């Protein structure tokens, strides 16, 4: 029996780096963004239904995220159609991972875990966190994103304080060493709990 740990956190909080730390501790990782990438790539399960719904979004046998952005900019209602195609496929990908992974702890890296109600399928949730000013500094430093785009993304995400309050574990990612020590502690607690179950 494996333990399902949801890993979430807002943009720029260090979730991807933290996810890799769990892998280093012997956990298996399922990444929601990577799953969508697989579905959109050539031969991906989303290509055929997308080519029916949005022929302009499929280029060279793969779904183009840039083309989807263009479609959404002129037709906001298209989001519901896209989600109707992608969400069930992502859920199927996640289920397949859950059924085949052999690690004792399965980590599910899902940025919008609480926003989509995904926490109900988890045994526990860990949220990565840093202060808002550091979050903004990281995002503006590392990407081509404008401040407006960053604020738009942050506005769509549940406030960090609320995510932390609803999580079983909070991992502060101020330094790599501190984050790693907290990840090791979370893994230790979960394994101890599984041994006593």
For 187, the domain range is: 1-27+105-197
Q: Which of 9, 12, 3, 19 is nearest to 179 (CA)?
A: 19
Tell me if 46 sits within 8 A of 64, measured CB to CB.
Answer: no
Tokens 């730390």 locate to 21
Per-residue pLDDT of the chain in tens (197 residues, 90 and over written 9): 899 999 999 989 999 999 999 999 999 999 999 999 999 999 899 999 999 999 999 999 999 999 999 999 999 899 999 999 999 999 999 999 999 999 999 999 999 899 989 999 999 999 999 999 999 999 888 777 888 888 888 888 899 999 999 999 999 999 999 999 999 999 999 999 999 87
Tokens 């239904």 locate to 49
Last residue of a domain, one of 102, 128, 146: 102
**pTM for this model (two decimals):** 0.90
Whether 110 and 193 share a structural domain = yes
Q: Which of 99, 138, 135, 141 is nearest to 4 (CA)?
A: 99
Helices 65-74 & 78-100 angle (0-180, nearest 10): 140
pLDDT at 1: 81
Q: How many separate domains does the chain show? A: 2
Whether 153 and 65 share a structural domain = no
Specify the 3-state DSSP secondary structure of 169.
strand
Helices 32-40 & 78-100 angle (0-180, nearest 10): 110
Last residue of a domain, one of 83, 102, 121: 102
Q: Show the tokens assigned to 156.
A: 């769509």
């Amino acid at each position: 029996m494996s333990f399902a740990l949801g890993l979430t956190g807002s943009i720029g909080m260090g979730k991807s780096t933290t996810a890799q730390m769990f892998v280093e501790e012997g956990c298996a990782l399922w990444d929601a963004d990577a799953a969508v990438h697989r579905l959109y790539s050539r031969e991906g399960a989303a290509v055929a239904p997308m080519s029916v719904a949005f022929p302009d979004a499929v280029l060279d046998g793969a779904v183009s995220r840039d083309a989807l952005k263009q479609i959404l900019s002129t037709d906001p209602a298209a989001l519901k159609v896209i989600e109707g195609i992608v969400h069930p496929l992502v859920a199927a990908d996640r289920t397949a991972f859950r059924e085949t992974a052999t690690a004792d702890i399965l980590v599910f890296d899902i940025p919008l875990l609480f926003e989509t109600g995904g926490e109900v399928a988890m045994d526990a949730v860990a949220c990565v966190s840093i202060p808002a000013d550091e979050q903004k500094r990281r995002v503006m430093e590392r990407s081509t994103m404008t401040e407006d785009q960053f604020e738009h993304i942050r506005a769509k995400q549940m406030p960090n304080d609320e995510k932390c309050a609803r999580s079983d574990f909070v991992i502060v990612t101020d330094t790599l060493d501190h984050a790693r020590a907290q990840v090791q502690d979370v893994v230790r607690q979960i394994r101890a709990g599984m041994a006593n179950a």
